[in-house]
Amino acid sequence: MKILVIRFSSIGDIVLTSPVLRCLKQQLGAEVHFLTKERFATIVRHNPHVDRVFAIRDSPSEVIALLRRERYDRVLDLHHNLRSRWVKWALCRPARSFYKANLEKWLLVNLKVDAMPDRHIVHRYMETAHGLGVRYDGQGLDYFIPPDEEVDAHQWEGPAPPYVAFAIGANHATKRLPPEKMADICRHLNLPVVLLGGAEDTSRGEWVAREGGVRAFNACGRLTLHQSASVVRQAVVVLTHDTGLMHIAAAFRKPIISLWGNTVPRFGMYPFYPDGLERNTSFEVQGLSCRPCSKIGHDHCPKKHFRCMCDLDTLAIAAAVNDQCRTLNS
């Protein structure tokens, strides 16, 4: 059986597809192909459960002729947007799309009516394969780092273990703590802290490291995604916003302190662990009438007060990180 899985973006969403890929391979012995955007292709290229990756820059038309030649037995659409719909139409193969819960998200954002499915998005992804007899195996997420991108944390320029990894980035400003609150957390941590993020987070990371004390190290913009994942894997605890590295940390079964601003765990994308394991502690401001204000995020707070992040207690967050570190090191 040959199956095409579609998920164009982004980092966290693609990591969350990994149980589907694993179960298709292990339970069916299927040949699994994956269609995504070029800048995210590295996430699945080293996955042993994926046999071939098709990557696009702008449009699926770049690869549609190649996809047609494959004559797939099934297409699993884990993105469910206009582009993926066009791919399914162009291939004319049996297909199934995951339940995106757009209406429920709209109700929660706009009317504050919670009708969200009471299950993680991973389970909604898995439902697309139920017709093939595939079921979730309870083993959580996967993330595979190529050997040449492993970071030797005892020889690199940053701190050696034990340390805390702090993923300070996020695609939208309303999903990030203000820099002064990030720095305040760093000043109260008992272990060195490595700040992780992309090139767009470099200057922010420099400021936080400068203001956050001598043991804060800015790795933003210095590492590839796989190298950042390696630093996360070797951390004692991962402190993170609602972002891709949060899901990578869950794939490594790391203890997570997750920080939530304009988005909420009820959207179904909180850290996902294997059955029977729960290592996430969430911090969010409860009772704000304006929250969630978006299912994705904004460049600035629509209400101009940004209470969803500004009201988070930095001392309580630092204490939670320190408690986890003490527990794991005792």
User: pLDDT (tens digit, 0 to 9) for every residue of the chain, 330 residues total?
Assistant: 999 999 999 999 999 999 999 999 999 999 999 999 999 999 999 999 999 999 999 999 999 999 999 999 999 999 999 999 999 999 999 999 999 999 999 999 999 999 999 999 999 999 999 999 999 999 999 999 999 999 999 899 999 999 999 999 999 999 999 999 999 999 999 999 999 999 999 999 999 999 998 889 999 999 999 999 999 999 999 999 999 999 999 999 999 999 999 999 999 999 999 999 999 999 999 999 999 999 999 999 999 999 999 999 999 999 999 999 988 876
Task: Say yes or no: 207 and 75 in one domain.
Answer: no
Q: Is 99 helix (H, G, I), strand (E, B) or coil?
A: coil
Q: How many CB atoms are closer than 10 A to CB 45?
A: 15
Phi, psi of 274 (to 5 degrees): -60, 155
Domain that holds residue 310: 152-329
Tell me the C-alpha distance between 21 and 14, whole Å.
10
Can you tell me which residue has the tokens 């909604």? 124
Task: Say yes or no: 214 and 114 in one domain.
Answer: no
Task: Say yes or no: 295 and 200 in one domain.
Answer: yes
Our CA angle for 313, 319, 323, nearest 5°, is 150
**Inside any domain, residue 220:** yes
Torsion, Cα 16 192 230 263, to 10 degrees, reads: 20
Task: Say yes or no: 119 and 188 in one domain.
Answer: no
Task: Say yes or no: 38 and 162 in one domain.
Answer: no
Task: Say yes or no: 11 and 113 in one domain.
Answer: yes
Take residue 275 and report the two structure tokens written for it.
């059955």
22 neighbors 142 (Cβ within 8 angstroms): yes
Torsion, Cα 145 11 280 262, to 10 degrees, reads: 160
N-terminal to C-terminal alpha carbon distance within the chain: 49
**Inside any domain, residue 116:** yes
Tell me the C-alpha distance between 318 and 324, whole Å.
10
| Domains contained in the chain, number | 2
Pick from 132, 164, 195: which residue ends a domain?
132
What CATH number does the domain containing 77 carry?
Answer: 3.40.50.2000
Residue 29: in which H helix or E strand, if any? none
